[in-house]
A and B are shown apart, each in its own frame.
Chain A
Amino acid sequence: MQTNSQAPSSHPLVRDRVDNFHGQQLIYVGWDHHTMICAPIALLVPPGLSFGELVDSLLAHSAFALHPDWPRINWAEVEWFASDQPVTPRRDTALKDQGFGHKTFLRMRTPALRGIAGSGS
């Protein structure tokens, strides 16, 4: 353990490197204007998982599915962002093959839906 932050350490311990996740990787997903889900969620996924499977099997069993807006989402209209830049994910392509590596933050926006009673929550 580093005992003094001012002393340079040649081998800092990177605690969350992908090797520590036993063959899987982290993906974070957030849903803008739906702050009832208090924070973006952290998911453990196999890197070969397709984007479609991420949405259909993982998000559908996450906190997102408990939001009253979830069943109303028109998936054709959803806008996606990776590292806060617009992206167009391909449903049938693996996460790793479309640049969504370890600790990528995906943000989704549903233009027609603004949360509970339109409050952004």
Chain B
Amino acid sequence: MNNTHTGQAGKKLSLKEKYALMTRGLGWDTSYEPMDKVFDQLGLEGIRIHDWDKWEDPFRLTMDAYWKYQAEKERKLYAVLDAFQQNNGHLNISDARYVNTLKLFFTGITPAEYNAHRLFAMLGRQFPGPGAAIACQMQAVDELRHVQTQIHSISQYNKYFNGLHDHSVMNDRLWYLSVPKSFFEDAISSGPFEQIIAISFALEYLLTNLVFMPFMSGAAYNGDMATVTFGFSSQSDEARHMTLGLECIKFVLEQDPGNVEIIQRYLDKWFWRGYKVLGLVSMMLDYMLPRKVMSWKEAWEIYFVQNGGSLFNDLSRYGLRMPRHWEQSVAEAEHLSHQTWNSFYNFSDAAAFHVWLPSDEDMAWLSEKYPNTFDQHYRPRIEHYRRLQAEGKRYYNPSLPMLCQTCQIPLIFTEGDDPTRTSHRETEHEGEKYHFCSDGCQEVFEQQPDKYVSAWLPAHQILQGNCFAPDADPQAAGFQAEAEVMRYFHVNPGQDNMDYEGSQDEANWRLWKGLSPDGASKAPPAA
């Protein structure tokens, strides 16, 4: 409808004018306070920006269009989630074992998405260029939307499966979740340029395919339409996030030649930090998806070596090179999932999901995918575990593990020249010893020791007596320390964890699917 009496307002703006007014036009230079006081974190890292107007917005998205697109995506997503719920979509997944990948994702990644929301909201405040600030603000809202839709998926699965009842408390307390948690807290407590390189470039551009593609394809292969739909819904956001990452790195590199060295240091650090977190994904791909998509080794070859390699080829004209130790990550692809899975088999009585031994068919697949390592190094111990389980003597590790000061993963990795010898590095800082799983983690520590000396390492916190509920009394007679730590984690022993075989999840699944205890399909009772 034409609105003639307001004159100018009735004129429909061209897209170009609208973009100019609603992004660049919203910025101004402060006059009551100097700009460097208002944007007080910008100078801390030594990065020099001479002209924020050189920032290019590849999407040229304005806020009104953003809301429109996002609302449309939400409508579609929730229509599918509603249908999934009403049609008992959880019964169409390949097997109840599959849900354990979701448990790991929802307790490990969903709270990280919330931290990503906080991080981008702060970045939107810290960048003086309106182009960059608005892109960050939009991403902050995206991340919040992702948290919200994932929580709605959690609430659906939580009705039927154990271990999903308290994802946020678990993320704060549960030992293995300190790995993704500390990754994001490391990023969010960095300077603004390091934050955006860490999350937008290293995680969202370089490594995101490793999280999303195998995971979403895994969901599709295993009949999980709720997760697939969420994946599609977030994919267009992710495309925008990746572009932000790439634009940001090019912008910063082009602004000042002195920035290259700093950015390279950030890339070296955040590649290594991200790679370590992805160990969880390697285990999902090789050991947890009932219907396999591809091996970790194949995924790393395609998404990191090939795609990442050509990306760094493009970036070499700015003076950037591949991140330090990338060759090591390729060599370790032969071992990563097997070593990660073994640590969860060791400690599955202290986790919030189930594990199980690979079947004969799974082991044949692992032999085929890992011809250089599986039969030689990993099959014998799985067969040993099988014998023990058959004798009713299932092995659980009753000890606490030694953790890496940087990535917080137990020292489960082995030396490049000897896959049977634990990889260990050690340094001393101000009279204290610190231990690491790798050269990469030691180097990250040595860049900023004051940051990592304060790491909240779960095993040490348990031994300091800090992982008990407020009403627990360690001095009381008959105090059960291990049970009390589980209570602090909000994990129900035996119900949320240990083996899938014999679990409540398995019993329920058999009941719903009409399966007899030996796995065969049971004829429905005669009417």
Contacts and interface: CB of A to CB of B under 8 A. Distances in A.
Contacts of B460: 15-16, 26, 42
Chain A interface residue number, banded: 35 or more
Contacts of A44: 463
Of B41, B44, B422, most A-chain CB atoms within 10 Å: B422
A80 B346 CA distance: 24
A119 B377 contact: yes
Nearest to B466: A20
Contacts of B186: 5
Contacts of B453: 12-16
A6 B45 contact: yes
Given A14-B454, A84-B424, A116 B384 contact: yes
Interface stretch (B204-212, B219-227, B411-419, B516-524): B411-419
B58 interface: no
A39 B402 contact: yes
Given A103-B435, A121-B377, A38 B424 contact: no
Contact of B44 (A4, A14, A66, A107): A4
A33 to B, nearest CB: 5
Interface string A12-47: 111111001110001010101101111111111000
B46 to A, nearest CB: 9
Contact of A119 (B381, B398, B424, B455): B381
A21 B424 contact: no
Contacts of B410: 38-39
Interface of B: 41, 44-45, 186, 189-191, 194, 339, 342-343, 345-347, 376-378, 380-381, 384, 395, 397-403, 410-412, 414, 419-422, 424, 426, 430, 432-435, 448-451, 453-457, 459-460, 463-465
12 contacts: A4-B41, A6-B194, A12-B449, A21-B464, A35-B339, A35-B381, A35-B420, A36-B381, A41-B401, A62-B398, A62-B399, A84-B424
Given A22-B464, A62-B399, A120-B421, 17 more contacts: A4-B190, A6-B41, A6-B45, A7-B44, A13-B453, A14-B453, A15-B454, A16-B460, A37-B346, A42-B401, A44-B463, A63-B346, A84-B424, A102-B433, A115-B381, A117-B380, A121-B381
